[in-house]
Amino acid sequence: MPKRVDHEERRARIAEALWRIACARGLDGASLRDVAAEAGISLGQLQHYFASKDDMLVFALEHISDLAARRVGERLRGLSGEPSPRDVLLGSVREMLPLDDKSRTGHLVQIAYFVRAVHDERLRRHAKEGVPGLRAFFAGQVREGQARGEVAADRDPEVEAALLIALVDGLASYAVLEVWSAEEALGLVAGHLDRLFGVR
């Protein structure tokens, strides 16, 4: 057999090139030739690693959501000792806002996929399966807040979790459009959390 190459590593490199293009011109503006050029490889080589454009798109989506989940996990592990539910939620939310360039890129890619998901059953399933997990995690934190007496007992954790997710997502979208800055968005959601956690 000839020399062996780490396929996953190559595919990851190509996916990152795709993100750079999608971030600048959108997913529909990313042709196979563009991505290959951005990755510094030939079109033939790209096609060697992805049988079709759709394969490339799906792989890149899974890869980026893996990385995003890892980032959130690391941030939460980085919280000192016994973090309060409020801190956990704020930390998670911080990772969901385009606060730095890397995060902004991730958001632009996410948006590119969002649009495609509207018309693509396969991608839509991705979103439908991913949200409940995040919602359950947020709801758990709210419940923990209730157990500590920081959150009013009559709040429905599931409802608060959904509200928080939708709120952050809306704030992030407008931040990407530069209607307001990511820092303003963070301030707004922090205020929302303050009210939820009864600091008032």
State the residues that interact with a copy of itself by CB under 8 A.
Answer: 24-26, 28-29, 108, 111-112, 114-119, 124, 127-128, 131, 154, 159, 162-163, 165-171, 173-174, 176-180, 185, 188, 191-192, 200
Per partner kind, with CB cut-offs from 5 to 8 A, the member of DNA, a copy of itself, none near residue 174 is a copy of itself
Residue 199 phi/psi, 5° resolution? -70, -35
Least distance between a copy of itself and beta carbon 154 (Å):
8
Per partner kind, with CB cut-offs from 5 to 8 A, the member of DNA, a copy of itself, none near residue 102 is none
Burial (CB count <10 Å: 0-12, 13-18, 19+), residue 158? middle
| CA 111/CA 45 separation, integer angstroms | 28
CA distances from 97 to 36, 56, 106 (A): 30, 26, 10
Least distance between a copy of itself and beta carbon 78 (Å):
26
Least distance between DNA and beta carbon 13 (Å):
11
Per partner kind, with CB cut-offs from 5 to 8 A, the member of DNA, a copy of itself, none near residue 137 is none
122 counts as binding DNA under rule CB under 7 A:
no
Least distance between a copy of itself and beta carbon 182 (Å):
12
Nearer to DNA, 58 or 69 (CB): 58
45 counts as binding DNA under rule CB under 7 A:
yes
Positive or negative torsion for Cα 24, 25, 28, 34: negative
Please enumerate in sequence order all residues whose Cβ is within 8 A of that of 151, keeping only pairs 6 or more positions apart, or say none: 85, 142, 145, 160, 196, 197, 198
Least distance between DNA and beta carbon 157 (Å):
44
Do 176 and 165 form a contact (C-beta atoms < 8 A)?
no
Per partner kind, with CB cut-offs from 5 to 8 A, the member of DNA, a copy of itself, none near residue 180 is a copy of itself
33 counts as binding DNA under rule CB under 7 A:
yes
Do 173 and 195 form a contact (C-beta atoms < 8 A)?
no
Exactly one of 12, 13, 20, 47 binds DNA (CB under 7 A); which one?
A: 47
48 counts as binding DNA under rule CB under 7 A:
yes
| CA 55/CA 91 separation, integer angstroms | 33
Token pair of 58 as six digits: 């799906």
Say how many residues touch DNA, by CB under 7 A: 24
Do 168 and 174 form a contact (C-beta atoms < 8 A)?
no
